[in-house]
Structure 1
Amino acid sequence: MKAYLLLGVASTTLTLAPAHAQDTASPIDTSPATEQGEDLDQENMIIVSGRAQKLYRAGETSSGKLETPPLESSLVITTIAEQLIEDQGARDAQDLYRNISGVSFFSYAGVTARGFRQEEIFYDGLRGDPYAGFSVPQLFNVERVEFLKGPNGMLYGPGAPGGLFNYITKKAQDDVLEGKVKAIAGTEDRWGGSAEINVPLGNGFAARGGLFYEDRGTFRFNAASRTTIADGGVSFDPGPVRVDIQATRYDQELDANRLRGVPVDDDGEFLTDRRWNHNEPSDFLNLKSDVVQMRLEAEPVAGLTLDATARYNTATEVQNYHEPRGLFDSDGDGVIDATIREFRDQIRTQETWSFGANAVWEADLSATVRNRVLFGFDHFLADTFFQGRSLRGTTTDTPGLPNPLSLFDPQYGLSDPATYNQGPFRVTISDTKQTGFYLLDELTIGRLILTGGIRRDDSDADGLVEGETTYRGGLVYRITDEISAFGQYATSFEPQSASSQNPLAGGPFAPTKGDIFEGGIKTALMNGRIQSSLSAYQIRRTNILQSDPRGDVGNDGVDDLVALGEITSKGIEFDIAADVTPDWVLTLAYAYNDTRITGDNGGGGFSNNVGDRFANAPEHQLGFWTRYQFPELGLATALGGDYVSKRVSISGQPVKPYMVFDASLIYETGPFRALVRVDNLFDKTYAASGFIDRTGHFPGAPRSAFLEIGYAF
């Protein structure tokens, strides 16, 4: 479990910057501490200079379509910068979830965001996630991660109301020759390395390339992974035009790693070892994915900026795994001690095209009035293919069927898929087209900033044509140069899944919809020494499909559905980052969330009842990250803590609260850097999230450690 830094509660965008980075617009450059020589020399360039503003720099982001400083934005965006990713030794998206207040792990690449399950992932503002199906995004070629909170339909089209991830990829730069190599070794047979280089080629041309490989076991029996990423790109930036072309190959081999949870009892206690795995050693999940992307940026005339991006991805994910299908008592002693298993043989492929373009016009209408107008569109094409078959076993060893597996004494290798009496494959092919046009206006009148936007989306999913309009409105008032008050209203929608649109079940159904009311205060006090934010929000999610209480209304053999459900999420988030001393920095964040079922159809659908808390939505989250540095030694130490309160699983089983701690030690001198990380410092046994009763809760990782050594030039 990675030590984490809680960033950006209620839209303060906090990012980690290198010690030698200078920002002439930042108050840090003229602060008393800087005048006293607080910055470190280049010989011992230890990460930060001891200032919260420099360590967690508030900067502009791209996820809001209009790049805007946090104190001037009504959006709620958390940014995790490359330096933070490196400091935490993060390898994949799961290592970063706890850096974002209001976000907690759900499963695989999915999270609970402000009470709702969220799986929306964008790259450079476009759809086209290269990690098809159940693989987790890796971070090697990612410059920063931005999480845009709340319903964002007006900016990005269909999506969950909790928010979305936008991964900003690394691109070639023509102003610096630099490179770095790293090696890593750790517990659980972890080892690997990486190399990157950026080369200016002259006349505005530049090239970069990178190669990453890591082999590691995991704490679950039989599970391991081998990941290779090859990434390269070229850029041409003569001004006022810039062109970036990138190509990336992702290759993951995951042994016995299509992981479910570990079964629990009705008190939320694991029934067996947290290392228990339902998969056989021969099971696997392998992904191969290729991405090509081209981006054009231009400023043809003063005040007008243009950008256009095209992204192509093709990916294949092949899986063989054993799914837990039912717990039972194998010896009749009244104790649940085994599970039935189902073998699944699956192939998923996807081929996607994404296009997006934006035009921004900016003008000063008077000495105190400024206006920015954004017009844009995006278009997404996806061809997906699924081929799968499954075979369920029984409670006894039966030839030709998957054998059951003991919870307490699992015997692997006794069940061979080559001997299974498998049936034919089931094939599903799907084609999706989606186009959106949007208009956004930002008007600044003195200290008041007003924003309003509208978007129209039209889609065709296997012949089902739908259209939806979404809106956004926001306001910011600069109370002083250091304090802003903000508010926003925004809407979102999600088309119903293709499997739910069967006319025999009452379909097609209108999309699920969401909206948000939010308001708060952001500050950057004492020349940025103390950054804080406070916000309160309410999100509603409506038109959720549930089972029709009348069952099969038309006597056509298919149970009917009805769209009547409602979930309401209310929350308060508070964040502060401050200098305790010139060498001691502390961040503290607290998030309260109350997500409850507020409407159903009166007869089923939801696992829980009206008034109950929604699954995997914690009521309280509290986190801290503190670091102290010893400049004369080139050392920095850090300690992080993460508390998540009690939740309920999808099946209504309790998920117990937990608090875990992580620590790191960093040494840096000249071009050399070493990082020692210890995760789950006190080896806490806990559930990171709950799922359903037959598959159990997802266990948190036990204590682990690694050493990473790097050289930069």
Structure 2
Amino acid sequence: MTRMSTRAVLAASAALFALPAVPAIAQEAPADETTASNEITVIARRREERLLDVPIAISALSTEALDKAGAKDLSGVQGAIPNVNIVQGRGSASSANFYIRGIGQPDALQTFDPAVGVYVDGVYLSRIQGALLNLFDVQRVEVLRGPQGTLYGKNTIGGAVNVVSKKPDLNDLRGEASITYGRFDEVTAKGYVSAPLVADKLALSVAGVYDDRDGIVTDPATGRKYNDRNNLSGRAILRAQPTDTVEVLISGDYTRQRNSLTMGQATAPLIGFDYNADFSAVTPFVIAPAATGEWDYKASSSFAGDKGQKLDHWGVSGTINVDLSDTLQLVSISAYRKLKTDFFVDIDATTAEVGDVFVGTRQHQFSQELQLKLDADKLKGVLGVYYLNEHVTSHQEAYADSYLRYVGTPLNFLRTIDDEQDTKSYAAFGQLTYDFTDAVSLTGGLRYTRETKEYFRTTTATTSSPIFPALVIKGTFTFPTNLPAPYNTLDSVTYEAWTPSATLSYKPSRNTMLYGSVSRGFKSGGFNGRVNGLGDVTQVVDGTTVVVPTFKPETVWTYEVGAKGSFLDGRVNISGAAFYSDYANFQARVGGGNTGINGGSFPVLNAGKLRIQGFEFDVNVRPADPVTLFASVGYLDADYKEFNDGRRAPAFSCNPTGAKVTCKPAFAPPLTLRAGGEYRVPLGDATLSLGGDVRFVDKHYLSVDNRPGLTEDGYLIGNLYAQVDFDKFYLRGAVRNVGNTLYKTDGQEFSSVGNIQTVYYGDPRTWNVTLGVRF
């Protein structure tokens, strides 16, 4: 297995654009012979509209497109949409790392809010744990790029991922089922059935998925498998329509995951420290050297075989739609969700105990949203109020018996953390569109957000020696009460923000649109959930050491122009957008140094300002009925205009001289490309579909401070499938990552403890065969 050279990647990428037609499944699912692509509907603006009529940078993936892309969960959308990075979160089998246009939040800690909101049927998911949803009864996935707040219950600064489930059919029995077998003994079984219980009045749908796959990483010493899948999910939706003006939807879902460890590769030597007799000085030593050579999907852990990752995630929601008149509709969305995770994570990815942790999280949330929708002749829009009450607790243990020594003898180290956070979020929002003419419309929106967070954390670190029994060092730090005055009573903070938006759109014809927009995004501040001591909340500002126990909210102003068009009766569909974003108070967890006595700190700072600009382009072409071609391009020019780490410059500071920022924003590849197509061949009463795509992702960084080992140099991967459709049955074979390309997806940077820098890789070449039925 070899990594392609940059020159080869660029040459292959250039070859993509030599295709006679360049089109894109990311914008829309391929149209069939009876439904034009320009008739695809979305609910991005909280009402059903044609995709072409929405003046927003939005992509919509249908169920069929998701299946053919091989998407088992939301990470399968990765690469299908320009300037969108959706991958499995670091060290976890179920956390989702979302970046849109270079804006995201990879840290799974509960004190950080996601920068990209995930909504399931209008219900916001507060945590990135459990957000890597299985896609089994999904009608489509809508991805909105840019700040979203004047239409959605929870404000999100980077964008929104809107998962829309299939509604039960009130009149017809419908269903589908499939069974898949693939490489690494993959077995996936899916089922969905929708049945009317009372014609025109009451219907029920039930869906489930069982997804199991052996690990793709092997322990060469024990043969143990890591990075596996073992998921069981189900959802039931009851739909009632007692009158022509009232609809009630009650939904319940449950996800259970039982996985082995998720292992990566150490890219830097692990460094420990040997204390002298009176603990006044330390001598560094190498615990384990950095890995050499290419990743071969082999790794060893210090954890025993029974240590893995468990997740239980369930929720119930109720949606009531009431037509008050021909032009007014009232919508109520009530939801309760509960999340339980017990994760063992080998952060250092070696047999040494340096970054070995257990994280147990218990979270529940209640949300209530009310919307008043208006659909008059000239004026359309929505007014809403939103409330979220979230409670999160966690128990954490960190084991580091390999990290410290006392006069040459190993020390045992255990750190335990217990913390708790309560968040109450209130919002009022509204957006109205006025049609001056059939061609010209103006949309204005405004949102007020108020969030209050209460936080408490206790950390206890114990160091002892099996050789010197009398040597026991124990310290407890309670946040925030151990902080010096006046911060020792600061356990609650409140943030408020007004976030407006405005859009002017022009439709020269029914199937073309030009638009320009400006919007402000906001992401709440909060407490540093990694506080272990004063060093984590101590900064040097203008030469003075100060204590800053919280970090401020992030804000962004985004300016965008775009165009969409459908031509030749829907055979050619094109969309493009260019944008410019000014991003302030970027929330960064920076390295706190690795000096033994003073190391181990994890400051979270409002480190700087970003400028992000770029463009996106999608095209989908059907030159003949059997042929669909697609392509997409995403370009990002992301820079830190300011990066103040607020500390005495650590080795990898982004401004080591204090004068010039040397880093680039993480997870912001300058160029992302995708191209492919599908060819359908009649076979008597059946149809053969042959398709695939090629994806290129440019060089980008996996850590805030751009460490060399946490850098992806760019990659090119291809996917192929063949499917035979009969009247009700279908048979599909698929190969993902055809060229067996080695590529990095995420990284862990905890350099202040043992110099930990770990990288995670995407799947190698995989194949599967699926037999399915639809009725």
Question: TM-score band (shorter)?
Answer: 0.7 to 0.9
Look up the match of 1:407: none
**Residue 128 (str. 1) matches residue 125 (str. 2):** yes
Look up the match of 1:68: 49
**Residue 378 (str. 1) matches residue 360 (str. 2):** no
**Residue 434 (str. 1) matches residue 425 (str. 2):** yes
**Pair 1:13–1:423, CA change in 2 (3 A):** closer
CA offset at residue 239 of structure 1? 1.7
Look up the match of 2:68: 87
Q: Give the partner amino acid of 2:97.
A: G
- Partners of 1:106 and 1:690 within 8 A in 2: no
Superposed, 1:545-584 pairs within 5 Å as 545=587, 563=606, 565-584=608-627
CA offset at residue 78 of structure 1? 1.2
- Decide which of 430, 442, 446 is 1:450's aligned counterpart: 442
TM-score calculated relative to the size of structure 1: 0.81
- Decide which of 212, 222, 228 is 2:232's aligned counterpart: 228
Distance 1:421 1:461 in 2: 35
- Partners of 1:521 and 1:533 within 8 A in 2: yes
- Partners of 1:145 and 1:166 within 8 A in 2: yes
Distance 1:626 1:392 in 2: 51
Q: Give the partner amino acid of 1:276.
A: K
Q: Which moved more, 1:108-117 or 1:347-356?
A: 108-117
Unaligned runs of 5+ in 2: 1-15, 17-21, 90-95, 105-114, 219-224, 270-289, 455-491, 532-536, 539-545, 594-599, 656-660
**Pair 1:444–1:187, CA change in 2 (3 A):** same
Distance 2:157 2:354 in 1: 35
Look up the match of 1:662: 719
Distance 1:396 1:442 in 2: 63
CA offset at residue 363 of structure 1? 2.2
- Partners of 1:310 and 1:354 within 8 A in 2: yes
Distance 1:295 1:104 in 2: 31
Identity over the aligned pairs, expressed in percent? 19
- Decide which of 749, 752, 762 is 1:700's aligned counterpart: 762
Superposed, 1:541-620 pairs within 5 Å as 541-545=583-587, 563=606, 565-601=608-644, 607-609=653-655, 610=661, 612-620=663-671
**Residue 524 (str. 1) matches residue 566 (str. 2):** yes
Q: Give the partner amino acid of 2:50.
A: P
**Pair 1:396–1:384, CA change in 2 (3 A):** closer
Look up the match of 1:416: none
**Pair 1:601–1:149, CA change in 2 (3 A):** same
Q: Give the partner amino acid of 1:218.
A: G
**Pair 1:283–1:529, CA change in 2 (3 A):** same
Distance 1:386 1:428 in 2: 6
| CA shift digits 1:259-303 (9 cap, x unpaired) | 4455379xx997443413354433211111221111111212111
Distance 1:278 1:134 in 2: 26
- Partners of 1:619 and 1:645 within 8 A in 2: yes
Superposed, 1:105-144 pairs within 5 Å as 105=86, 107-108=88-89, 109-117=96-104, 118-128=115-125, 133=129, 136-144=132-140
CA offset at residue 432 of structure 1? 0.8
- Partners of 1:240 and 1:300 within 8 A in 2: yes
Q: Give the partner amino acid of 2:368.
A: F
- Partners of 2:58 and 2:143 within 8 A in 1: yes
Look up the match of 1:263: 267
Q: Which moved more, 1:339-348 or 1:450-459?
A: 339-348
| CA shift digits 1:488-518 (9 cap, x unpaired) | 1011111123217969732445411111000
Distance 2:584 2:444 in 1: 23
Distance 2:26 2:356 in 1: 45
Look up the match of 1:30: none
| CA shift digits 1:154-205 (9 cap, x unpaired) | 3336655331212222332213201222111111011131222111112411
CA RMSD of aligned residues (A): 3.4
Distance 2:70 2:603 in 1: 49
- Partners of 1:180 and 1:196 within 8 A in 2: yes
- Partners of 1:348 and 1:387 within 8 A in 2: yes
**Pair 1:57–1:85, CA change in 2 (3 A):** farther
Q: Which moved more, 1:73-82 or 1:616-625?
A: 73-82
Look up the match of 2:165: 169
Number of aligned residues? 631
Distance 1:600 1:10 in 2: 39
- Partners of 1:358 and 1:377 within 8 A in 2: yes
Distance 1:397 1:709 in 2: 58
Look up the match of 1:637: 690
Look up the match of 1:345: 358
- Decide which of 246, 256, 274 is 1:251's aligned counterpart: 256
**Pair 1:341–1:269, CA change in 2 (3 A):** closer
Distance 1:549 1:212 in 2: 41
Look up the match of 2:510: 481
- Partners of 2:327 and 2:374 within 8 A in 1: yes
**Pair 1:593–1:270, CA change in 2 (3 A):** farther
CA offset at residue 695 of structure 1? 3.4
- Partners of 1:628 and 1:638 within 8 A in 2: yes
Q: Give the partner amino acid of 1:497.
A: G
Q: Give the partner amino acid of 1:114.
A: R
Distance 2:436 2:425 in 1: 36
| CA shift digits 1:67-99 (9 cap, x unpaired) | 433333321111111222222332111111222
**Pair 1:573–1:397, CA change in 2 (3 A):** same
- Decide which of 310, 324, 327 is 2:334's aligned counterpart: 310
Look up the match of 1:388: 396
**Pair 1:627–1:264, CA change in 2 (3 A):** farther
| CA shift digits 1:131-159 (9 cap, x unpaired) | 76366221123332111110113333665
- Partners of 1:262 and 1:271 within 8 A in 2: no
Look up the match of 2:310: 286
**Residue 628 (str. 1) matches residue 679 (str. 2):** yes
CA offset at residue 346 of structure 1? 2.2
- Partners of 1:105 and 1:688 within 8 A in 2: no
- Secondary structure at 2:370's aligned position in 1? strand
- Partners of 1:12 and 1:76 within 8 A in 2: no
Q: Give the partner amino acid of 2:712.
A: V
Unaligned runs of 5+ in 1: 20-47, 328-337, 365-369, 404-419, 552-556
- Partners of 1:110 and 1:119 within 8 A in 2: no
- Secondary structure at 1:313's aligned position in 2? strand
CA offset at residue 613 of structure 1? 2.5
Q: Give the partner amino acid of 1:372.
A: K
- Partners of 1:506 and 1:561 within 8 A in 2: no
Distance 1:674 1:550 in 2: 54
- Secondary structure at 1:341's aligned position in 2? coil
**Pair 1:546–1:72, CA change in 2 (3 A):** closer
- Secondary structure at 2:66's aligned position in 1? helix
Look up the match of 1:684: 741
Superposed, 1:203-242 pairs within 5 Å as 203=199, 204-221=201-218, 222-223=225-226, 224-237=228-241, 238-242=243-247
- Secondary structure at 1:250's aligned position in 2? strand
CA offset at residue 572 of structure 1? 1.3
